[in-house]
A = this chain, B = another copy of it.
């Protein structure tokens, strides 16, 4: 096997044509072997095997700088830069992350997981090179999907303005054809159909030298193209047409399904079921929205980047004009929400916490400043969500809940979630974000409707004395467990509160508690600093009421075990009871 002997790109440069093709085949086999057992970004990596081998054959990484957009397509790059073992040996699968990572290799420039950043990063790297009067190639690999993000356009503009060597590889696997997308996607399609000859070329319009390659999975054609533009002294766009999922028929045929996922069968192309058939908050949302849309033609679901978050292909068809996919463009989603709400529609945008932060200003300046009633469903806002350092969802409370006018809600059960969602869609006063619960669906006492006043009131789950425990959203169940444990072990009967609203305090309730309680405990599934609990600590700062805030430390935790992370931050029944009991000792 050649692949095992590739310790660095230097080893690739010594191979002849036949060996290079053999390396491609081995890399694809290794890739399929790992992803079928381990899961990952399947389609994107299968499509760029030839391209990655050609890149490392022609260019001289790490002197030449390779930057992968989102970097979820960097698996083959990892294999070729000293990390083949992580794809060949099962017990080494977890040696590498699913994204580029400078801690793993000098060939990985950046930790990246969000979209559309590669061109601006490349622009900075190239500018530093120019300031130092060095020469090297700077190459950014960006997929057609990532071109929908505004930052990619800003990067193109600035690379063009800089005017020196930067090679932008547009990896166009025409994923967009399925959804018949306009704007840039109409242009890409026109260029593909004319083999790069169509008039009104988007990239030429922005001042780039442009080359088109239709056979983007042809190794020799790629080597030829890269050799031609190597050491170019001007900005270049290489528009390369590749086949997403190349070499695995099921993935070529069903590109959405095989974009990313868990383990699957190489024989049948079916994902291996985890046996988890429980009801999820995602399903609840889908059903609720489809039903709501059928009743009201002004309800409109907006998506940025992850269409399957709300609806599968069939459900998207069912939603019809009431579903808008804006591309991987969270800013557009948030600002479009403002326009929709202003003109009388009832927009709902579902987005992961980690991606929502890409639209902070749009949520603040367009939606909140204008008091417009759009609804944002914040998914994965929890330490129990995605756990890669580039994708964690534990920062949303500090960055979202302090935006004026915006109402941020944290339901703790199915009934509460659906009632708040219903309220949010129908009310016309506030921009509202809802922290969609994470984990198994929790039932609560039936709440069919929540009126305006109740939305802003904390809910007393259990009335007690001395100690009040505020369990926010996902951690309401932990609060109740702590209360039980306190009763059992310490014969204390604490008050348990479900705050429901994050973005403001229920001061009437707090003042009332102050009369009969000495300690308030807050639990939140997010970082402590700048969070919900600290606003309560501040409220009681000048009183004799003590406040203990429990939450996560401020860090980009990487590939962690959620249970361990909670434990390390004292977010367990035992640790919290311990903290509380110490207060009442002696």
A402–B399 CB distance below 8 A: yes
Q: Among A211-219, A239-247, A358-366, A452-460, which stretch is in contact with chain B?
A: A358-366
A331–B183 CB distance below 8 A: no
* B residues in contact with A370, CB < 8 Å: 102, 110-111
Task: Decide: A124 near B340, CB < 8 A? Known: A154-B331, A201-B200, A398-B399.
Answer: yes
Does A13 lie at the interface of the complex (its beta carbon under 8 Å from any beta carbon of B)?
Answer: no
* B residues in contact with A149, CB < 8 Å: 150, 154
Does A466 lie at the interface of the complex (its beta carbon under 8 Å from any beta carbon of B)?
Answer: no
Q: Mark A501-529, 1 if CB is under 8 A from B, else 0.
A: 00000000000000000000000000111
> Which residues of A in the span 332-352 have a Cβ within 8 Å of any Cβ on B?
332, 335-345, 347
A157–B402 CB distance below 8 A: no
* B residues in contact with A332, CB < 8 Å: 120, 123, 151, 154-155, 157-158
A154: which of B182, B324, B327 is its contact (CB, 8 Å)? B327
Q: Mark A147-167, 1 if CB is under 8 A from B, else 0.
A: 011111111111111110000
Does A556 lie at the interface of the complex (its beta carbon under 8 Å from any beta carbon of B)?
Answer: yes
Stoichiometry (number of copies): 2
B127–A336 CB distance below 8 A: yes
Task: Decide: A132 near B162, CB < 8 A? Known: A150-B151, A365-B117.
Answer: no
A300–B362 CB distance below 8 A: no
Q: Mark A110-138, 1 if CB is under 8 A from B, else 0.
A: 11111001001111111111111000000
Q: Mark A397-434, 1 if CB is under 8 A from B, else 0.
A: 01101111100000000000000000000000000000
Give the shortest distance, in Å, between A399 (CB) and chain B (any CB): 5
A125–B554 CB distance below 8 A: no
B123–A336 CB distance below 8 A: yes
Task: Decide: A161 near B182, CB < 8 A? Known: A125-B340, A339-B128, A399-B399.
Answer: yes
Does A280 lie at the interface of the complex (its beta carbon under 8 Å from any beta carbon of B)?
Answer: no
A335–B124 CB distance below 8 A: yes
**What is the interface size of chain A, counting residues whose CB is below 8 A from a CB of the partner?**
119
* B residues in contact with A338, CB < 8 Å: 110, 121, 124
A110: which of B342, B357, B395, B546 is its contact (CB, 8 Å)? B342
A340: which of B127, B329, B537 is its contact (CB, 8 Å)? B127
Name 29 interchain pairs, CB-CB below 8 A, sorted by A.
A109-B342, A110-B370, A113-B365, A114-B365, A120-B336, A122-B339, A123-B339, A124-B341, A127-B300, A127-B336, A127-B339, A128-B341, A128-B344, A131-B298, A154-B331, A155-B332, A158-B324, A161-B183, A163-B182, A183-B207, A357-B360, A360-B361, A398-B399, A404-B554, A528-B538, A530-B535, A533-B538, A537-B547, A541-B546
- Chain A interface (Cβ within 8 Å of chain B)? 65, 102, 109-114, 117, 120-132, 148-163, 181-187, 199-202, 204-207, 297-298, 300, 321-322, 324, 326-327, 329, 331-332, 335-345, 347, 357-358, 360-362, 364-366, 368-370, 389-390, 395, 398-399, 401-405, 527-531, 533-535, 537-538, 540-543, 546-549, 554-556, 583
Which are the 7 A-B pairs with shortest beta-carbon distances? Answer: A124-B339, A150-B150, A157-B183, A161-B182, A128-B343, A541-B547, A120-B335
